[in-house]
Structure 1
Amino acid sequence: MREFITYEWFTIFIVLALISVVMAKSLHSLRFNDFIYVVGNSKYLKIYSRDQKFIDTFDGFLFFNFTVCLSIFIYHSYSQFIEPLNFKLISFLKIGFAIATILIIKVLVERLVASLFEIDNIIDDYLFQKTTFKNYSGIILLVANLFLVYTNSYPEIIIIATISVVFLLNLIGFYSSFKTHQNAINLNLFYFLLYLCALEIGPYILLYKIIRDYNV
């Protein structure tokens, strides 16, 4: 009965994630088609970075998918490699809320820093690139979760392969931004390294501590 309830909840959350992706595609069909081919093609980043909005429904729906799918993926990864978890809806929702809150606050702080140092254009482009590849990672996580939830075949391989693909994908995005703004980074290397430690590494350490205390 417990396993049935657990997977019933996973089905509900996966359906919600699928609905959010469908909504993004329905409301922004042309943009979604360009988004799907963003890896290896800079067309999407060049076109849509010019039309950034503080509140964007397309990114909002895909961010919801990312948050839900990452929460499910974390649950399975933790259960597979650390210790089996007894599913608790409240704890699961807390993980999702923590992920969303940390990422949103992170973006707001980054924009504040950009305003203080008057580098809004550079940071806006960088944040758009990160958001794009993060949302693309959400699509990959959605597919991986379908295998993890509804099949029992090689979960360790699925998890490791998914982490590798997501890491590589975001590394490609980071390298792309680095190449675009390489001259500016070289002139401010100390501040760039400080930024990486404070705003790129720090929040994920905090998220890891929250995940580590999942059962608390």
Structure 2
Amino acid sequence: MNESFLIPRAIQTTDWAIFVFIVSFVLIALARSLFETRFAEFSRLAISDKYIKVYRDNSNLMSWFNIMLFVLHLISLAFFIQLALSGFGFAHKGDWLLFIRIFGLLGVFILSKYLIEKIIAASFNAEEFVEQFNLQKVSYRTYIGLLLLPIDIILYFSSGMSKTIYFALIAIILLINALTYAVSLRNYQNALLGKLFYFILYLCALEIAPYYFMYYWFTKS
């Protein structure tokens, strides 16, 4: 009696995840159908920087294409964080409330960081440079989010994944992020030299400090 009662509950816990995955695929389908040429260039971002060169205008940062892929990035990253927490024994991967919290925190964190960057950029008269720099970072990070989605699906519907797999995936993601950041710095090295003080301030205040405080908060909580 108890077993038959628990089975439907176990099935229901996956319903929200399936729904979110469907939403993710809908976002991909919309981005691909509405922006066919742009999506084709974006999909080759790992082997070609043509997308970065073609869509480097500041107006592209808040385009619907980027907004859809940004939401997809949040979904992929939030799922991966929850799966990693589950893999390390700190959470349950079927907890939909936890996913909403992580998704919301990530969204608030990234958008707050973006607004602070805008304020600092305006103070140093570097708005155009920051918009282009952010556009390039967003492009690479949303691309990582796109690649992360199938990994999330495999991890979510698999059981018994070892911690080594999660450590390896985290290391790979951090390495890819570091490499894409280095590429962005290389592409804008001439502009950075002209705004070196701003860049040092930006690096310390918005690229190092937030992640340090997040690490401190997670380890102490």
TM range (shorter): 0.7 to 0.9
Structure 1 stretch displaced more, 32-41 or 204-213: 204-213
| Structure 1 CA distance for aligned equivalents of residues 32 and 220 of structure 2 | 36
Q: Percent identity?
A: 28
What's the secondary structure of 1:85's corresponding residue?
coil
Structure 1 partner of 2:122: 115
Q: Which residue of 2 is the match for residue 185 of structure 1?
A: 192
Q: How does 1:76-91 map to 2 (within 5 A)?
A: 76-85=83-92, 87-91=94-98
Q: For 1:170-189, what per-residue CA distance to the aligned partner results, in whole angstroms no more than 9, with x for missing partners? A: 22221122112224434554
Question: Within the alignment, does 1:60 sit opposite 2:60 as a pair?
Answer: no
The CA RMSD over aligned residues, in Å, is: 2.5
Report the alpha carbon displacement of residue 80 of structure 1 after superposing the two structures with TM: 0.8
1:98 counterpart letter in structure 2: L
Note the C-alpha offset of 1:90.
2.8
Pair 1:99 & 2:128 matched:
no
1:170 counterpart letter in structure 2: N
**1:140 maps to what in 2?**
147
- Matched letter for residue 185 of structure 1: L
Q: Is the CA contact 1:67–1:96 (under 8 Å) kept in the aligned structure 2?
A: yes
**TM-score calculated relative to the size of structure 1:** 0.85
Q: Name which of 124, 133, 137 aligns with 1:126.
A: 133
Change (3 A) 1:131 1:183: same
TM-score by length of 2: 0.84
The 5-angstrom pairing of residues 143-158 of structure 1 reads 143-152=150-159, 154=161, 156=163, 158=165
Query: What one-letter code is carried by the residue in structure 2 that aligns with 1:30?
Result: T
**Residue of structure 1 in register with 2:3 after alignment:** none
CA contact (8 A) 2:87 2:163 kept: yes
Name the SS of the counterpart of 2:159 in structure 1. Answer: coil
**Cα displacement string for residues 79-111 of structure 1 (whole angstroms, at most 9, x for unaligned residues):** 112434374433321211110111112112212
One-letter amino acid matched to 1:159: Y
Aligned match of 1:49 in 47, 56, 59? 56
Cα distance between partner residues in 2 of 1:158 and 1:10: 21
User: Among 172, 194, 197, which residue is 2:204 paired with?
Assistant: 197
Alignment partner for residue 23 of structure 1, among 30, 53, 64?
30
Cα offset, 1:61, TM superposition? 0.8
Aligned 8 A contact 1:68 1:96 in 2: yes
What is the deviation of 1:195?
1.5
Change (3 A) 1:86 1:152: closer
What SS does structure 1 have at the residue aligned with 2:57?
helix
Computing the radius of gyration over CA atoms, which structure comes out larger, 1 or 2?
2
Say if 2:87 and 2:161, in contact at 8 Å, map to a contact too.
Answer: no
The answer as to whether partners of 1:144 and 1:162 remain within 8 angstroms in 2 is no
How has the CA–CA distance of structure 1 residues 206 and 60 changed in structure 2, closer, same or farther, with 3 Å as cutoff? farther
- Which whole-Å CA distance do the structure 2 matches of 1:14 and 1:210 have between them? 29
Kindly tell me: are residues 93 and 206 of structure 1, through their superposed partners in 2, closer, same or farther at Cα, counting changes over 3 Å?
farther
